[in-house]
Amino acid sequence: MREEQNNKYAVRKIDLEAGKYTVIMHDNDAQALGVREQDRVRVVFGEEYVIAVVETTQSMVKMGEVGLSAELHEVLKDVGEVRIYPTSRPESVEYIRMKMDGKKLTEYQIRKIVEDIVGRNLTDIELSAYVSAVYMRGMDQDETYHLVKAMIETGETIDFGDEIIYDFHSIGGVPGNKVTLIVVPIIASMGLTIPKTCSRAISSACGTADIFEVLAPVSLSAEEIKRIALEVGGTIAWGGAVSIAPADDIIIRAEYPLGIDPPSQLLASIMAKKKGVGANNLLIDIPMGPETKVESIEKARWYARNLIELGEKLDMKVSCAITYGGQPIGRAVGPALEVWEALQMLEGKQVPRSLYSKAIELSSMLLEMGGVLDGKRVAEEAIKSGKALEKLREIVEAQGGSPEFSSESIEFGKYSAEVVAKSDGYVKRIRNRSIIRIAREAGSPYDKKAGVLLAKKEGYRVEKGETLLTIYSSNKTKLENALRVANKISPVSIEGMILEKMPSYREIV
């Protein structure tokens, strides 16, 4: 009998990246051991052990053998034999269950959940139950604060000592939001320090990390972010490459397929990432409007209030700007296209008011948080003088890119197609989600040269047959797909008359 052999199994390497510690056992062995799929076991080798999750098989391994996922194999190295014992599920699963029952969690309980998330100790089923519970039950301020702390403390942090560190974050959801490429160099050009990390696209057309990668590598270590921020004043680095608040990426893995973004989790993720990078003066952009993450002014204010309160508890100065996000920012959506439009602005060329105004106003707010008087004038001067562009070149070079670029050197996809107006009228609505979908069909964000260039923004007059937007792609088939989608979903609505009034919150447009 197996049990008489002291629960020993021969190790067989299975070429499987499971994203967690998985032990594959023969059905009969699992039965004899009294464990089922998804149960936890203690895998003992020498004096050490790790906790892993069981998968069962009839054919992948023989009886007396176990397969280990690549992740587990890495820990065990060349161990040829392990002993396996059933063990109970982690206590954090009980706390997830408590949240499902609508209970308030303690600091300790939240900490245990986050530790198990970061330790890859939860299965997909458990992780999904966690995000579902947080989505359906919510978390209060105390819980959210404990969540932030746990997320920070289970990852790397950057310590800038007593330095004043600026940072900027956009809650996202609005396409074409390339303002980071303008705000960061403006702030850094004033001698301030802004170690900005940003994300790749999850469900958007492209994230700032996808965009900036057109100019420079974005995978920096925490050490590099610190060094570059201190040397040239700023970075535009991919947050995913640094292990700051690593729980976030794992949580997103479960949120993304469900299309949910629980507010308290969103608050915690932002604050943990920013506190972890050492920021103490933080400006948060909350785009608001149809088809953004925040669809009402009440919800926007709720976010602002909570972010500011969390900031106080975390010893950070937080300001929020509620901005209009009901249509794309500027005209360009897609990595290279957005770089081109940001460079146009930095080069002093004409860009849409929605982009210019937003970038200047946000920069101004951040500068004023740092005690600069008349931030707007100072920000505009940084553009006019070319100092912001110069600073961007320094940042690009420091991150390992070539500083020889201009808006004219940026290439778009060699295949392009136009979507034209089917009638005369005014552009009543440009749908964010439709623009995102077209850009993605065209290949964005993986095809850097793919995207959408809007010819007309909301409120503009168009004649029948006039171009509404141009789609770019490096790939002909993808372009055709994107064009087919665009013609089907009508991303731009045209009506006989202009919208009578603009919403009152449209201050920063």
Which residues here bind a copy of itself, judged by CB under 8 A? 1, 3-4, 14-17, 31-32, 34, 36-39, 55, 57-60, 70, 89, 93-94, 96-97, 100, 102, 123-129, 131-133, 135-137, 253-254, 256-260, 440, 443, 446, 474-475, 477-478
Rounded least distance, CB 476 to a copy of itself, Å: 8
113 token code pair: 């959940």
165 token code pair: 């560190």
Neighbours of 74 (CB within 10 A): 10
Q: Which is nearer to a copy of itself, 90 or 195 (CB)?
A: 90
Closest CA to 20 of 89, 159, 122: 122
Rounded least distance, CB 31 to a copy of itself, Å: 5
Q: Is the CB of residue 271 less than 8 Å from the CB of residue 148?
A: yes
Q: Which residues pair with 473 in a beta bridge?
A: 415
C-alpha to C-alpha distance for 484 and 81, rounded to whole angstroms: 56
Q: Which is nearer to a copy of itself, 258 or 499 (CB)?
A: 258
Please list the alpha-helical segments (H only) found in 277-423: 297-313, 335-346, 353-369, 375-384, 387-398
Q: Which is nearer to a copy of itself, 173 or 370 (CB)?
A: 173
Q: Which is nearer to a copy of itself, 421 or 435 (CB)?
A: 435
One of 116, 167, 261, 447 is an active-site residue; which one?
261
Q: Is 261 a catalytic residue?
A: yes
C-alpha to C-alpha distance for 509 and 506, rounded to whole angstroms: 6
C-alpha to C-alpha distance for 265 and 151, rounded to whole angstroms: 11
**Tokens 């670029």 — which residue?**
405
C-alpha to C-alpha distance for 502 and 281, rounded to whole angstroms: 32
Sheet holding 415-420, edge to edge: 332-333, 451-454, 467-473, 415-420
Q: Which is nearer to a copy of itself, 34 or 161 (CB)?
A: 34
**Tokens 């929605």 — which residue?**
354
Looking at the chain, the number of H-run helices and the number of E-run strands are 18, 18
Rounded least distance, CB 48 to a copy of itself, Å: 21
Q: Which is nearer to a copy of itself, 89 or 376 (CB)?
A: 89
- Roughly what angle, to the nearest 10 degrees, separates helices 353-369 and 375-384? 120
Sign of CA dihedral 73, 43, 10, 23: negative
Sign of CA dihedral 350, 354, 359, 364: positive
- Helix (H), strand (E) at residue 210: helix 208-212
Rounded least distance, CB 215 to a copy of itself, Å: 19
Query: Mind telling me the catalytic residues?
Result: 261
